[in-house]
Structure 1
């Protein structure tokens, strides 16, 4: 089975979110670069490095039977001819769950190679509770 050729980072990103919505492991992995230095950080999870670890994490997620519907918004793009970074807000709905879930912040990094654009890093994190932060009296140290 040959991998699709993504002619832009936007096409690769569409493939990523489509594979996620369909819980399609083969389609998900076709978006990723074949470079072993790929990185994936799922919300509230440790950093995964390498295709085997990333494949296994998606396999476990998809095997759980949960179907995610993800809409993205507020995309910020930094790009050059070989590397593109997308930072997006992910609005995640879980099929069959009517609750409103807080959005995620995700950074997706794409590299251009001989076979088109491929994902080299995905990092998603929950957004902070803004109302809770507003109620804090003390300054918040970030780093």
Structure 2
């Protein structure tokens, strides 16, 4: 197997692991999958981690979050306030250049409310369609997430409705 093909498989595995960790509410795993200054060999005692490898994240409808503190806090909040979430990824495409990989995909997200006390299914499930770009960097510990940017997809016909109301 060629090295580029192996890299693509490793990036795909890292991307899948990220979504699985969010689904499972595994904050420690989510944290491990994000790039840290130590992954880049930066000693934070002597260097500002913002000088190299600062991470960023844009959740649908949120402002840009920058730095490990802000990004990881956002995932802690999402996981603490989401009883059920599942991602069905489609249109996954990996592009590699050196030690950087770009993954684009469509997140078909299913989420819902708390399960009833009798142990039944979660409350009403809501579907959301989101397109995402995940940027990874190669580290000695494997591929780590450097940036995540997700944006909702407007349903077909949303633009037409806006045109009709403008008349």
Shared fold (TM-score greater than 0.5)?
yes
Structure 2 unaligned segments of length 5 or more: list them.
1-8, 38-48, 113-121
Structure 1 stretch displaced more, 56-65 or 82-91? 56-65
C-alpha distance in structure 2 between counterparts of 1:29 and 1:66, whole Å: 20
Give the structure 2 partner of residue 14 of structure 1. Answer: 16
Question: What is the CA RMSD across the aligned residues, in angstroms?
Answer: 2.0
Map 1:5-84 onto structure 2 (within 5 A): 8-35=10-37, 36=49, 37-84=54-101
Q: Deviations over 1:111-130 (max 9, x none)?
A: 11222110000111110232
Partner of 1:141: none
Give the drift of 1:70.
0.6
Q: Is the 8 A contact 2:12 2:94 kept in 1?
A: no
CA gap of 1:100–1:67, structure 2 versus 1, over 3 A, is: closer
More helix by share: 2
TM-score (norm. length: structure 1): 0.82
Number of equivalences: 132
**Does 1:101 pair with 2:117?**
no
The separation in 2 between residues aligned to 1:110 and 1:123, in whole angstroms, is 12
Tell me if 1:121 matches 2:141: no
Structure with the greater alpha carbon radius of gyration: 2
- More contact order relative to length (CA 8 Å, sep ≥ 6): 1
Q: With structure 2 as the length reference, what TM-score do the two structures score?
A: 0.71
Unaligned runs of 5+ in 1: 1-6, 138-143
The list of structure 1 runs, each at least 4 consecutive aligned residues, that deviate by more than 4 angstroms after superposition, is: 97-100, 134-137
Indicate the SS of the match to 2:154.
coil
